[in-house]
Amino acid sequence: MKRIAAVLGVAVCLLAGGAPSAAQTLKDSLYNPGELKPIDSTLKVRKGQAAPDFALPSVSGEKVRLSQFRGKKNVVLSFVPAAFTPVCSDQWPGYNMARALFEQHDAILLGITVDNIPSLFAWTQQMGSPLWFPVLSDFWPHGAVASKYGLLRSDGVSERALVFIDKKGIIRDILVTDINKRPDLEQCAIALEKLDKK
Amino acid sequence: MNETFQKIEADPQLKGKVKLIGIGAGNSSFEVDYFRNNYKVPFPLFADPDFKIHKLVGEVRTPYYIGVKNQRGAAPKVYYSKLGGSQDPAELLAKVLTGSGVR
């Protein structure tokens, strides 16, 4: 009887990271903030209310306003704490791989951090594959949008949070997750399903 | 890796002798299933949501490749260990076969 002579194991962060060589370079330049208080803010919005409107500059140059998607697209706001940190640098490239999941629910993703545009530009450039969604800077007035939603932490960065907004501009779900961990895609998928229900 | 798997399966000398598995470091079962379906991965993938396997292999950065040889009457032996993606399936397979002594 033949026996297995060799096994090639592959440790792959499946829903994280960009092109291997680029991801490797990026990981070499990340700052590890250590273990942080999981959640450090109090929400100012709730499910069922109209999402506060905002306009923020994007890395690609144009200003993006939340209300421009009203009647056209569901919107998912992805607040992440900081550029060049390990969990955030896994989370957003992971959404590149999960793009179809958002599109299946006719949703656009808006990535938001309190970093300035040059930092966001440098960070996203190093991810390897370009992100499919707009990356917005909530740098000035510092963290104003995060603060409006009650997602600004006491140290000036935002929570790791996902806000699901339907085509009428109503908040349908809010996930504020442990800042130290990448949110499970399943929670996001469940919240996206809710956007389809009238 | 799909191509590497297909090369193994298509070669009568390798099929059944060389197995390929993937481990999703930090990924939940849902994420692994999503990845499997989205990229039509034909070989087994395992979730490692709490990084347990990842810690056992030394918390390597990913993607990381480990070649293990199962030896009769002895502990499995690591014969290949490499950080970073191999873009050439033929090159990766050649290293696996040479390192393991399969060919």
Using CA atoms, how far apart are residues A50 and B20, in angstroms rounded to an integer? 49
Whether residue A185 is predicted with pLDDT greater than 60 in this model: the reply is yes
Helices A185-196, B29-38: axis angle to 10 degrees equals 70
Predicted pLDDT of residue A9:
54
Whether residue A141 is predicted with pLDDT greater than 60 in this model: the reply is yes
Query: Which residue spans within chain A are E strands per DSSP?
Result: 6-12, 55-57, 63-65, 74-79, 107-113, 135-137, 160-165, 171-177
Mean pLDDT (chain A) is 88
Predicted pLDDT of residue B87:
64
| Smallest CA–CA distance from B39 into chain A, residue | A97
Q: Are strands A63-65 and A55-57 parallel, antiparallel or unpaired?
A: antiparallel
Of the listed ranges A23-27, A33-37, A194-198, the one predicted with least confidence: A23-27
Whether residue A11 is predicted with pLDDT greater than 80 in this model: the reply is no
Tokens encoding B29:
């079962």
Predicted pLDDT of residue A76:
98
Q: How confident is the model at residue A10 (pLDDT cuts 50, 70, 90)?
A: low
The beta-carbon neighbor of B70 closest among A7, A12, A27 is A7
- Percent over 70 (pLDDT), chain A: 85
Predicted pLDDT of residue B76:
86
Contact yes or no for A145/A54 (Cβ under 8 A):
yes
Predicted pLDDT of residue A179:
95
- Looking at the domain that runs over A41-196, which CATH code has it been given? 3.40.30.10
Whether residue A34 is predicted with pLDDT greater than 90 in this model: the reply is no
Predicted pLDDT of residue B70:
85
ipTM: 0.72
Predicted pLDDT of residue A1:
39
Q: How far is A82 from chain B (nearest CA, A)?
A: 20
- Report which of A44, A41, A123 is spatially closest to residue A82, judged by C-alpha positions: A123
Chain A residues touching B54 at Cβ < 8 A: 11
Predicted pLDDT of residue A37:
94
**With an 8 Å Cβ cutoff, are B63 and A20 in contact?**
yes
Cα dihedral across residues A40, A44, A49, A50: positive or negative: negative
Q: How confident is the model at residue A146 (pLDDT cuts 50, 70, 90)?
A: very high
Catalytic sites of A, residue numbers: 88
Predicted pLDDT of residue A31:
81
Q: Across residues A115-120, what is the average pLDDT?
A: 97
Using CA atoms, how far apart are residues A120 and A69, in angstroms rounded to an integer? 23
Q: Across residues A92-114, what is the average pLDDT?
A: 95
| Smallest CA–CA distance from A187 into chain B, residue | B30
Predicted pLDDT of residue B89:
75
Q: What is the pLDDT along chain B (103 residues), one digit of tens a residue?
A: 888 889 889 988 888 888 889 999 889 999 999 999 989 999 999 999 998 998 888 877 778 888 888 888 888 888 888 887 666 778 878 887 888 787 7
- Report which of B33, B90, B81 is spatially closest to residue B61, judged by C-alpha positions: B81
Predicted pLDDT of residue A28:
63
Q: Partners of A65 in the beta sheet?
A: A55
Q: How far is A61 from chain B (nearest CA, A)?
A: 31
Q: What's the Rg (C-alpha) of chain A?
A: 18
**With an 8 Å Cβ cutoff, are A14 and B17 in contact?**
no
pTM (predicted TM-score): 0.82
Q: Where are the domains of chain B?
A: 2-95
Contact yes or no for A75/A69 (Cβ under 8 A):
yes
**With an 8 Å Cβ cutoff, are A185 and B61 in contact?**
no
Whether residue A23 is predicted with pLDDT greater than 70 in this model: the reply is no
Chain A residues touching B18 at Cβ < 8 A: 4-8
Predicted pLDDT of residue A7:
59
Predicted pLDDT of residue A6:
55
Q: How confident is the model at residue A19 (pLDDT cuts 50, 70, 90)?
A: very low
- Classify A86 as helix, strand or coil: helix
Strands across the sheet containing B18-25: B45-48, B18-25, A6-12, B64-69, B77-83
- B15-41 per-position pLDDT tens digit: 888 888 999 988 999 999 999 998 999
- Report which of A87, A134, A142 is spatially closest to residue A112, judged by C-alpha positions: A134
* C-alpha count within 13 angstroms, C-beta hemisphere, residue A190: 10
Q: Which helix (H) or strand (E) holds B83?
A: strand B77-83
